Each structure stands twice: as structure tokens, then as C-alpha cells.
């Protein structure tokens, strides 16, 4: 045999099994190895996205994938994790669910909003949940881009995206029964200087088998049917009248799959025609600002709360209890002084109060620098 046995195949033989035998989980050994490639793609995407957002070293450690019922999967999860759901557009709308520890989702959201991933809120707000969804959308989008190469170049994209914190009685795939088997790939994400957290990638088992089947089909189409060249026939002598050459000692047999044989066959192949042309680069400065704005672009559609503060003051509890209808509270601002405009509790501008039809409004008179606005958003 030219192909060496893997450790899993050796273990299967030692335990009395056969190569390619179903493990009892619904996956053959070959299917498991193909789906391990899918798990590795998601792991690499998490490394790339989390590393880009944090600007730090990220290590994602994959654990052994499992086939579990939805009910059994829930027993392995922490309380109230963050759930991200999407379907695979371009491949039968296969459903995908990512489950992230709540602390990890808040950390990802804080990184998305330009934070350090350290000062996290005790209760996740809609702003943080939306930012976490956007970050995981980047992970899934990058994963689908890499996965398309293993699926024959299919154009895959995440669709029907939704996310939420897990509630009571939830299921990774609510459209399926609690006893339905799913393929689950757990991974631990470690961002340098931050608390590690776990991410579980899950797909229904029948969908996972469909992915593995297509990968196996693509690999079969890419493998040459006749990988060993036929032996060359001895050429007829062009000069029969010449002296017979001296006999050479027999040469040892060299396996056709050896590296020297491969190099010899490669040397006999005609060199492919390569299109060579000068490299073209954009002039320096045309892409200015793209890198700096990329992180903000990813969260540009996340809603924020804008507040106009007319003024403030401090009162004792006894003074508060003494307030009645008609009482006047004096604020710390003078009449006509500009009011503060806050985004998520942080000042970004000042302005004057106006009336638009029957509604109050504010006309901006002074805007803080762009850096302060980005920090506030």
C-alpha cells in the first residue's frame, strides 16, 4: 500500500473495527476527517477576526468534534450563552449555529466597539448584543469564503442571520426535534491578556453528511484516475549495423511513488506556459483612511442612544422627598447656555434647543473631534 494508515485507522483496526467503518455516531472515519477540515476552517476564521479586532495574538484550540442530540448538547453548555444562527446561502440553506459563552460574546462586542475587552457590562445591552452579532457575522463570512474552496468553488454567503441570549427551553435548531443528532465542534479562544472563552460550531448531522459527501466528490474529481505512468517500451535500434552496447547490471526497483520518481516524471513534463507581466500598484495615498475606518464600518449600522442634557444638579434625599407639584429645580446651566449632546452617555457635541413643528430639537453649534466621537460610538 502506498498510503500510510492514520492513527485513527490504526486504533480502529486494533479495536476490531474495519477501515471506514461507521463509528456509531452516524459518521464514518472518512467523514469525520473531512469534517475536521471544516472545524479547522472555523477555527482559523476565529483567529483571524478576533486577532484583527483586538490587535493581539489569538490562539484557538480545537477539541474533538462530537455527534450529539440537541438535548444532550444543551447539558454541556454554560448558563445563558449567546446564540448566533445563520443559513448557508449557495448550499441548500444548510443551517449553522454558533454558541458562545456570554462573557466571550461581551468581550467580542467590546473589541468591535474599539474597547480593550476588559471593562464589560454586568448586563448585556442591545448595543453589545448587536456588536457581538456583527463580529460573529465576520467569522462566519470568512469561514464560508474558505469553505467554498473545498466545495468546488461554490459561492457561499451567510443568510437569515439572527442572534440572542439563550432563554429557557431553547434549542440550537428550534425547527428540529430535541432528539435530532447534530455535529458539534468545540474550540477554546485565547486572546492575549484576556480571559479564554469557548465557542461551539454546530450543524445538523444530515447537513454535515451532505457537506462531507460533496467534499469527497470534489476530491475524487480532482484525483487523476491514472496516477502511475505506463512503463515505456524499449525503442527499436536506429542503427542495427552498429556494435551491440555492453550489458548493464540490473538496477534496483524504485517505487513509482518515491520522490525521485516524481521528480523524474515532473522533469519529463513540458513546462506550462506562464503569463508574465509587470505588477501594477495603486499610487500611495489613494487608499488613505480605509484601514482606520474598517473597524467602524463593521458596526456603522448599530443603533446608539442620543441624549440632550439640559443641565443637572445634586439634591439631598430630604429635598427630593419635599418636591411637590409646582416645585422648581435650579440647574447648573445659565439661561441661553448651550446644552450637551451625549451618545451612550458620552458627550460628542453642544447645541441650542429649537422647536420643529410641535417637537423639540437641537441645533448643533459645536462638535468634538472625530476621535472623541468614535470613542463615544
For the stretch 43-74, pLDDT in tens is 999 988 888 888 888 899 999 999 999 999 99
- CATH code of the domain covering residue 51: 3.40.1550.10
Q: Is residue 171 part of a domain?
A: yes
| Residue 48, C-alpha cell as written in the block | 483571524
Which pLDDT does position 201 carry in this prediction? 95
Q: Which of 221, 240, 261 is the last residue of a domain?
A: 221
CB 201 within 8 A of CB 144: no
Number of domains in the chain: 2
Distance between CA atoms of residues 203 and 212, nearest Å: 12
196: cell is 479564554
Domain boundary among 197, 221, 245: 221
Q: What is the mean pLDDT of residues 197-204?
A: 94
- Boundary (domain end) residue, out of 221, 247, 270: 221
- 310 and 205 in a single domain? The answer is no
Q: What integer pLDDT is reported at residue 21 of this predicted model?
A: 47
DSSP state of 32: H
- 281 neighbors 113 (Cβ within 8 angstroms): no
Whether residues 308 and 183 share a domain: the answer is no
Grid cell digits, residue 58: 489569538
DSSP 213-273: HHHHHHHHHHS-S--SPPPPPPPPPS-TTSPPPPPPPPPPP--TTSHHHHHHHHHHSPPPP
The CB-side HSE value for 289 (13 A sphere, CA atoms) comes to 3
Distance CA 156, CA 165 (A): 26
Place of cell 550489458: 247
Query: What are the tens digits of pLDDT across the range 203-229?
Result: 999 999 999 888 888 877 665 555 445
Could you list the residue range(s) of the whole structural domain that residue 185 is in? 7-221
For 283-304, how does the pLDDT look when each residue is reduced to its tens digit (9 = 90+)?
Answer: 554 444 444 445 556 667 777 7
Q: What average pLDDT score do residues 108-129 get?
A: 85
Which among 69, 314, 327, 101 has a CA at the least distance from the CA of 176? Answer: 69
Amino acid at each position: 500500500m502506498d498510503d500510510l494508515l492514520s492513527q485513527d485507522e490504526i486504533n480502529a483496526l486494533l479495536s476490531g473495527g474495519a477501515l471506514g467503518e461507521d463509528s456509531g455516531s452516524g459518521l464514518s472515519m472518512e467523514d469525520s476527517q473531512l469534517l475536521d477540515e471544516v472545524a479547522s476552517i472555523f477555527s482559523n476564521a476565529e483567529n483571524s477576526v478576533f486577532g484583527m479586532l483586538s490587535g493581539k495574538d489569538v490562539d484557538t484550540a480545537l477539541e474533538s468534534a462530537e455527534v450529539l442530540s440537541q438535548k444532550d448538547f444543551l447539558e454541556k453548555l454554560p448558563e445563558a450563552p449567546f446564540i448566533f444562527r445563520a443559513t448557508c446561502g449557495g448550499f441548500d440553506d444548510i443551517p449553522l449555529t454558533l454558541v458562545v459563552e456570554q462573557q466571550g460574546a461581551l468581550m467580542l462586542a467590546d473589541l468591535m466597539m474599539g474597547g480593550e475587552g476588559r471593562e464589560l457590562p454586568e448586563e448585556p445591552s442591545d448595543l453589545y448584543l448587536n456588536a457581538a452579532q456583527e463580529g460573529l457575522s465576520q467569522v462566519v463570512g470568512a469561514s464560508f469564503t474558505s469553505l467554498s474552496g473545498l466545495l468546488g468553488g461554490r459561492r457561499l454567503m451567510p443568510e437569515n442571520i439572527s442572534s440572542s441570549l439563550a432563554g429557557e427551553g431553547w434549542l440550537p435548531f428550534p425547527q428540529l426535534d430535541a432528539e435530532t443528532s447534530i455535529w458539534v465542534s468545540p474550540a477554546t479562544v485565547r486572546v492575549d491578556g484576556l480571559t479564554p472563552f469557548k465557542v461551539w460550531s454546530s450543524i445538523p448531522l444530515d447537513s454535515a453528511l451532505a457537506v462531507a459527501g460533496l467534499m469527497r466528490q470534489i476530491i475524487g474529481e480532482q484525483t487523476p484516475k491514472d496516477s502511475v505512468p505506463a512503463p515505456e517500451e524499449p525503442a527499436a535500434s536506429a542503427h542495427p549495423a552498429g556494435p551491440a552496447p555492453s550489458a548493464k547490471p540490473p538496477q534496483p526497483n524504485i517505487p513509482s511513488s518515491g520522490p525521485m520518481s516524481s521528480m523524474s516524471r515532473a522533469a519529463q513534463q513540458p513546462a506550462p506556459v506562464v503569463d508574465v507581466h509587470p505588477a501594477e500598484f495603486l499610487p500611495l495615498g489613494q487608499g488613505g483612511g480605509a484601514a482606520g475606518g474598517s473597524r467602524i464600518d463593521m458596526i456603522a449600522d448599530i443603533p446608539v442612544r442620543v441624549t440632550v442634557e439640559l443641565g443637572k444638579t445634586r439634591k439631598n434625599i430630604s429635598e427630593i422627598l419635599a418636591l411637590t407639584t409646582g416645585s422648581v429645580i435650579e440647574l447648573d446651566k445659565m439661561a441661553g447656555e448651550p446644552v450637551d449632546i451625549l451618545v451612550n452617555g458620552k458627550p460628542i457635541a453642544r447645541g441650542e434647543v429649537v422647536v420643529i413643528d410641535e417637537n423639540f430639537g437641537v441645533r448643533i453649534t459645536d462638535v468634538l473631534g472625530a476621535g472623541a466621537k468614535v470613542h463615544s460610538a
